[in-house]
Amino acid sequence: MFNFGRARSQGRQNRSMSLGGLDYADPKKKNNYLGKILLTASLTALCIFMLKQSPTFNTPSVFSRHEPGVTHVLVTGGAGYIGSHAALRLLKESYRVTIVDNLSRGNLGAVKILQELFPEPGRLQFIYADLGDAKAVNKIFTENAFDAVMHFAAVAYVGESTQFPLKYYHNITSNTLVVLETMAAHGVKTLIYSSTCATYGEPDTMPITEETPQVPINPYGKAKKMAEDIILDFSKNSNMAVMILRYFNVIGSDPEGRLGEAPRPELREHGRISGACFDAARGIMPGLQIKGTDYKTADGTCVRDYIDVTDLVDAHVKALQKAKPRKVGIYNVGTGKGSSVKEFVEACKKATGVEIKIDYLPRRAGDYAEVYSDPSKIRKELNWTAKHTNLKESLETAWRWQKLHRNGYGLTSSVSVY
């Protein structure tokens, strides 16, 4: 694990070690030492220069104290697709944001864009850390005064979860435990948790309400359900304000084309339908594979409820504003409308203007035939409703980003910790 804060303290240690070892008795050595001092001084200057370029350098004291009227939100996974869009929205709304990300799935490029948009001291800082490292997380909470946590960071591919279940159980449950324990230890009182429709599995009746029994059928959904249970049990004897948002299938991009979805190329085989469509439209892949055509749905392909990322982050801001101590709110975040994979691909062809070649494959492990939400609870209680319900229009915003960023976020997107 590396973070800029640690680099600074290590820099201090190294400096004192080199000065502590000076011995001026030998004139030859003295020249050596002068050389070393000059080298150390220039390296230190270089380090400081580089750190000043990094977002973490901006006035840590501002981040370490509560300020009346300023809500400081820790966004875990803020370098990822949804987390970065949430950070952008929070920053636009004048929240103070700290992003923690291990860059295993997220992109430093997304953080850099946010940093360029909000360069003022005290707005945004980035800390490179892994939530599995409880000591590092504790240090982050010690050095920062958070008012709320939005916990996005997680591995999140259904197919991958069936292949590497332990990775999913570990990452999703134990990291949530670390976040909760550290929040409790430091008195941070509000949690907005990213859950998923995958916790419902394959219910008998549609649409899915928050009362629909949760019977997940893949490790991703099961691990998210476990994390929800951990949070719910903890909240029974705590005065924490908790909001659990169960997302349906997230698509789209920042309409101004600054942020987008940049999945790891090496994870393409597990990738979501949106990424697969765009890869095919851009000719990076020879075509799109539709995985499963024999489901009991109108056209035989799976049905999902596609929610625009800008609507999703709007739900987060509303959840944050309405969160109350000792209360738990659980909400579906979807449009209430189901679309089949075939319909999705047709919309993608229209949005991109590309005639995507399609191969039909057998079912993917872990998939359920049909899920779509009943979003009436969130509409009633949080006054939230999806504004973007046209698949093609959401895909157009994503396609715009894809065209502007042919290499995703560039070199930074290949930084990997796992």
Ligand X SMILES: O=c1ccn([C@@H]2O[C@H](COP(=O)(O)OP(=O)(O)O[C@H]3OC[C@@H](O)[C@H](O)[C@H]3O)[C@@H](O)[C@H]2O)c(=O)[nH]1
Least CB distance from residue 224 to ligand X, whole Å?
7
Q: Is residue 220 flagged as an active site residue?
A: yes
Distance CA 228, CA 233 (A): 9
**Nearest-approach distance from CB 376 to ligand X, in angstroms:** 20
What is the nearest approach in angstroms of ligand X to the Cβ of residue 167?
A: 14
Residue 175 CB, shortest distance to ligand X, in Å, is 15
**Amino acid (one-letter) located at 192:** I
The DSSP code for 169 is H
Cross-sheet strand order for the sheet of 72-76: 124-128, 96-101, 72-76, 148-151, 190-196, 241-247, 328-333
CA distance 416 to 66: 33
Nearer to ligand X, 86 or 91 (CB): 86
CA atoms within 13 A on the CB side of 396: 10
d(CA 15, CA 275): 47
Q: From the CB of 156, what's the least distance to ligand X, in Å?
A: 4
Cα–Cα dist 223/230, whole Å: 10
140 versus 315: smaller Cβ distance to ligand X = 315
Bridge-based pairing of strands 303-304 and 339-340 is antiparallel
Q: What is the CA radius of gyration of the chain?
A: 23
Neighbours of 371 (CB within 10 A): 24
Closest distance between ligand X and the C-beta of residue 198, in Å?
A: 5
User: Which CB atom, from 308 or from 367, has the smaller least distance to ligand X?
Assistant: 367
40 dihedral zone (left: phi>0; alpha: psi -120 to 50; beta): alpha
**Nearer CB in complex with ligand X: 5/221:** 221
User: Which C-beta is closer to ligand X: that of 77 or that of 109?
Assistant: 77
User: Where do contacts with ligand X occur on this chain (CB under 6 A)?
Assistant: 156-158, 196-198, 247, 249, 272-273, 276, 289-292, 302, 304, 341, 364, 367
Task: Kindly state the smallest distance separating residue 351's Cβ from ligand X, in Å.
Answer: 16
Q: What does 181-213 look like in DSSP terms, one character per residue?
A: HHHHHHT--EEEEEEEGGGGBS-SSSSBPTTS-
**Within 13 A of 171's CA, how many CA atoms are on the CB side?**
23
- Give CA–CA dist 261/254, Å, rounded: 10
Nearest CB to ligand X, comparing residues 127 and 307: 307
Helix, strand or coil for residue 245?
strand
Q: Give me the catalytic one of 157, 220, 247, 368.
A: 220
Q: Alpha-carbon distance 64 to 250, whole Å? A: 33
Q: Which is nearer to ligand X, 117 or 369 (CB)?
A: 369
Residue 170 DSSP symbol: I
> Which residue is listed with tokens 């990452």?
171
Report the alpha-carbon distance of residue 399 to residue 261 in Å, rounded. 10
- Catalytic residue list: 220
